[in-house]
């Protein structure tokens, strides 16, 4: 796959339409079905692509209210074939993490799996913004490893590179011209960044007072988790309308005070600092410890951009690491 | 400004008037202005105040902080702290308000925020220490009435349609609640699930329900800091609703939130002589 393939917008559009529905971000950055391939901005959309695979609200089952045993009607996984246009490498890499939770685990989420199996991921190389840090995680704005096809926009179409055998097979069905591909671009990283923290060291400092200090600059609003491409926590809730009850799987987040509240009222994560610590440790300690080579963050920078308190996840993690290392040196 | 702020904080520590101080600092790496809690006088040198201090720190006041706690307050923040004392969240002597002369803040780094352009209170009404030149602060460029005139002019049907559309992007992330200095219920109504008052997913009925309840709970309590609006990742203009209610409360109850300490504040006021029949007043039929 050393060569790239020149492909026109029209040829791509035709081939994708033939395949089925096309999803793309709209002008407010939400993923919707589109008729034709939209012109997209230089950077990732506001919402991560996970919305198509593990949406904020999804029906699991429904039944009619009333006397007698309820006839439960489970929701069917959506198996319609289609494609997703305009996936950025950070969002695509995040799907690999979600796969770990929803496909590779002993419990497979049939809805998620059906979407993953049937939607072709068409990546689009981007121009990183000021809050983007994919370089920290060892890939760049035109990384093709997590998508089926990576497109680099040109004045008259795209240069496409297959990222998977599925992508290669799709490319074979489209009229293309072989062209040389430019060298992969490195991803941006903050100039002060020197490397990822050691997951075990981070966990060993679970009770460090710095968590409390960091906690004062966080109000647990949870916006960071809501827009994070790798956050995957959900809860189950029921809604009823005109005698019909729906059981829903809806998005939840670890920053909310009721996330860990038990029946009876006990809450192991009572204070803001403990919830902030959970978010940092989950991404930078638990996931890397359990899955060597993976980190729970892909550097999309949405949490940095949207934080109402202007907190910067990477800067916080860096400060924590620095402090732990300094203290370790002092002891040694 | 920064020098005077730091000296004042050090003095408060030295005189034993505070055990901790909530303020702003510039993050050494990201260069963003973030909230900070200092517990040692020498850390006062990290404190700053300038146009980038957009956040309202009153939300950060929690009872587990080392008390008494000093807090750097702008005009709107000071009103929020004052209201929290009025409502009994804190005793007056537990809080030391460090009021800064605030010409307004610039969330975009260029122009004053919309909330600051109509600000009539550039210095906190609650002030134990005042820092900066209070004589040279800007006059409001527009009024609250002008801000909400468009909504007031609508017919009820138009208004309903306006809000339905305005709430549409809401994802029920509740960031507006989490940053609000006066959203201090122990268990928020939307988190209660027995009964479930507000459905947890975004749709017209639950959007309306959440934003209406949120606004009602802020009648006579909102201090117009506009943090809800700023925090909203989807740009829902929910703060306009608070402004409409603030206007009504001032007119009907002659009460300006957080400006004076004590007194009867409308939200918790019960009067058996209330002219509204549904409160059990004389017109009950």
3-class state of residue A263 by DSSP: coil
**For residue B88, what are its two tokens?**
């009994």
Cis peptide preceding B195, ω within 30 of 0: yes
3-class state of residue B185 by DSSP: coil
Dump pLDDT digits (tens) for A18-52: 999 999 999 999 999 999 999 999 999 999 999 99
Tell me the C-alpha distance between A167 and A205, whole Å: 44
Dump pLDDT digits (tens) for A143-200: 999 999 999 998 888 999 999 999 999 999 887 888 888 889 999 999 888 888 899 9
CB A187 within 8 A of CB A128: yes
Question: Once rounded to an integer, what is the mean pLDDT over residues B121-130?
Answer: 92
Residue A133, class by beta-carbon neighbours within 10 Å (0-12 exposed, 13-18 middle, 19+ buried)? buried
Q: Give the pLDDT band of residue B54 (cuts 50, 70, 90).
A: very high
Q: Give the pLDDT band of residue A65 (cuts 50, 70, 90).
A: confident
Give pLDDT, residue A1: 44
Tell me the C-alpha distance between A92 and A289, whole Å: 21
Strand partners, A121: A84
Q: Give the pLDDT band of residue A313 (cuts 50, 70, 90).
A: confident
**Residue A85 burial (CB count, 10 A):** 25
CA-atom Rg of chain B in angstroms: 20
Give pLDDT, residue B195: 82
- Residue A163 inside a domain? The answer is yes
- Residue A136 inside a domain? The answer is yes
Range of the domain at A137: 2-56+77-181
Instruction: Domain count for chain A, please give it.
Output: 1
Contact at CB, B29 and A319, closer than 8 angstroms:
yes
- pLDDT at position B278 over 70: no
Angle (CA) B150-B151-B153 rounded to 5° is: 70
- Residue A171 inside a domain? The answer is yes
Give pLDDT, residue B214: 93
Nearest residue of chain B to residue A30 (CA atoms): B169
Residue A123: which H helix or E strand, with range? strand A119-124
3-class state of residue A286 by DSSP: helix
Best probe of the B interface among A48, A133, A217, A260, by most B CBs < 10 A, is A217
Q: How many residues does chain A have?
A: 332
Q: Give the pLDDT band of residue B21 (cuts 50, 70, 90).
A: very high
Question: Once rounded to an integer, what is the mean pLDDT over residues B56-77?
Answer: 91
B91 CA to chain A: closest CA distance, Å?
21
- pLDDT at position A281 over 50: yes
In this structure, the strands spanning A149-154 and B95-100 are: unpaired
Dump pLDDT digits (tens) for B128-137: 999 998 888 8
A→B contacts (Cβ < 8 Å), by residue, are 28, 46, 56-57, 190, 192, 213, 216-217, 219-223, 226-227, 237-239, 248, 250, 253, 256-258, 271-272, 304, 306, 308-312, 314-315, 318-319
Give pLDDT, residue B279: 57
Give pLDDT, residue B285: 41
**Residue A206 burial (CB count, 10 A):** 11
Give pLDDT, residue B262: 65
Question: Which residues, at least 6 apart from B150, have a Cβ–Cβ distance to it below 8 Å?
Answer: none
Percentage of chain B surpassing pLDDT 70? 96
- pLDDT at position A123 over 90: yes
Give pLDDT, residue B194: 79
Residue A23: which H helix or E strand, with range? strand A21-25
pLDDT, mean over chain B: 89
Give pLDDT, residue B277: 65
**For residue A288, what are its two tokens?**
């890397």
Residues of B within 8 A of A312 (CB-CB) are 27, 29-30, 32
Tell me the C-alpha distance between B157 and B161, whole Å: 6
Tell me the C-alpha distance between A29 and A229, whole Å: 13
* Helix residue ranges per DSSP H, chain A: 9-19, 89-102, 110-118, 165-172, 199-204, 210-215, 223-226, 272-281, 287-290, 302-306, 313-331
Predicted-complex ipTM score: 0.84
CB B188 within 8 A of CB B43: no
CA-closest candidate to residue B116, choices B229, B254, B262:
B229
Question: Once rounded to an integer, what is the mean pLDDT over residues A243-256?
Answer: 92
Residues of B within 8 A of A258 (CB-CB) are 187, 191
Percentage of chain A surpassing pLDDT 70? 99
Dump pLDDT digits (tens) for B214-238: 999 998 889 999 999 999 999 999 9
- Residue A289 inside a domain? The answer is no
- Residue A283 inside a domain? The answer is no
Range from A185-194, B60-69, B261-270 carrying the lowest mean pLDDT: B261-270
Give pLDDT, residue B258: 82
Looking up tokens 């639950």 gives B206
In this structure, the strands spanning A31-34 and A119-124 are: unpaired
- Residue A169 inside a domain? The answer is yes
Q: Give the pLDDT band of residue B271 (cuts 50, 70, 90).
A: confident
- Residue A223 inside a domain? The answer is no
- Residue A115 inside a domain? The answer is yes
3-class state of residue A213 by DSSP: helix
Percentage of chain B surpassing pLDDT 90? 57
Give pLDDT, residue B284: 43
Distances (CA, A) of B34 to A27, A303, B38: 31, 14, 13
End-to-end CA distance of chain B: 61
Considering the entire predicted model, what is its pTM?
A: 0.89
Question: Once rounded to an integer, what is the mean pLDDT over residues A293-314?
Answer: 91
- pLDDT at position B167 over 60: yes
Nearest residue of chain A to residue B174 (CA atoms): A221
**Residue B62 burial (CB count, 10 A):** 15
């Amino acid at each position: 796959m050393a060569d790239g393939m020149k492909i026109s917008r029209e040829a791509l559009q035709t081939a994708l339409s033939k395949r089925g529905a096309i999803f793309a971000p709209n002008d407010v950055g939400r993923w919707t079905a589109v008729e034709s391939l939209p012109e997209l901005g230089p950077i990732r959309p506001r919402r991560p692509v996970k919305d198509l695979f593990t949406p904020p609200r999804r029906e699991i089952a429904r039944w009619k209210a009333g006397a007698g045993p309820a006839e439960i009607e489970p929701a069917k996984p959506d198996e319609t074939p289609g494609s997703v246009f305009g996936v950025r490498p950070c969002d695509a890499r995040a799907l690999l993490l979600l796969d770990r939770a929803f496909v590779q685990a002993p419990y497979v989420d049939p809805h998620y799996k059906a979407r993953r199996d049937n939607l072709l991921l068409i990546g689009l190389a981007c121009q990183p913004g000021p809050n983007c840090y994919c370089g920290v995680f060892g890939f760049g704005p035109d990384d093709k490893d997590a998508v089926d096809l990576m497109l680099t926009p040109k004045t008259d179409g795209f240069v496409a590179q297959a990222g998977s055998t599925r992508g290669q097979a799709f490319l074979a069905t489209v009229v293309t011209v072989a062209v040389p591909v430019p060298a992969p671009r490195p991803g941006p990283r903050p100039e002060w960044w020197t490397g990822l923290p050691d997951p075990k060291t981070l966990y060993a400092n679970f009770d460090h007072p710095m968590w409390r200090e960091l906690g004062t600059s966080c109000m647990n609003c949870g916006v960071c988790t809501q827009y994070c491409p790798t956050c995957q926590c959900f809860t189950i809730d029921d809604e009823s309308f005109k005698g019909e009850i729906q059981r829903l799987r809806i998005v939840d987040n670890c920053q909310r005070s009721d996330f860990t509240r038990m029946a009876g009222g006990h809450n192991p994560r009572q204070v803001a600092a403990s919830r902030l610590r959970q978010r940092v440790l989950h991404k930078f300690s638990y996931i890397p410890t359990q899955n060597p080579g993976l980190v729970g963050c892909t550097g999309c920078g949405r949490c940095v951009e949207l934080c109402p308190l202007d907190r910067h996840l990477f800067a916080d993690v860096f400060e924590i690491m620095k402090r732990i290392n300094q203290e370790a040196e002092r002891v040694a | 400004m920064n020098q005077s702020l730091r000296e004042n904080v050090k003095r408060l520590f030295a005189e034993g008037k505070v055990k901790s101080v909530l303020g702003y600092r510039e993050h050494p790496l990201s260069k963003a202005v973030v909230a900070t809690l200092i517990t040692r006088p020498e850390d006062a040198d990290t404190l700053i105040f300038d146009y980038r201090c957009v956040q309202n720190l009153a939300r950060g006041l929690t009872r587990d902080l080392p008390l008494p706690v000093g807090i750097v307050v702008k005009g709107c923040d000071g009103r929020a702290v004052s209201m929290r004392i009025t409502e009994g969240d804190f005793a007056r002597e537990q809080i030391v308000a460090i009021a800064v002369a605030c010409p307004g803040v610039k969330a975009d780094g260029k122009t004053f925020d919309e909330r600051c352009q109509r600000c009539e209170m550039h210095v906190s009404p609650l002030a134990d220490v005042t820092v900066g030149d209070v004589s040279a602060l800007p006059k409001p460029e527009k009024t609250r009435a002008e801000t909400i005139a468009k909504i007031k002019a609508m017919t009820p049907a138009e208004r309903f349609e306006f809000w339905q559309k305005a709430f549409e992007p809401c994802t029920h992330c509740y960031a507006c609640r989490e940053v609000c200095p006066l959203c201090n219920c122990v268990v928020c109504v939307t988190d209660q699930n027995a009964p479930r008052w507000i459905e947890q997913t975004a749709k017209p009925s639950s959007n309306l329900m959440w934003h209406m309840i949120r606004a009602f709970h802020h009648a006579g309590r909102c201090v117009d800091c506009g943090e809800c609006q700023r925090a909203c990742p989807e740009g829902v203009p929910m703060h306009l609703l608070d402004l409409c209610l603030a206007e009504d409360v001032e007119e009907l109850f002659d009460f300006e939130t957080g400006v004076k300490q004590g007194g009867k504040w409308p939200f918790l006021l019960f009067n058996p002589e209330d002219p509204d029949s549904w409160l059990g007043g004389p017109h009950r039929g």
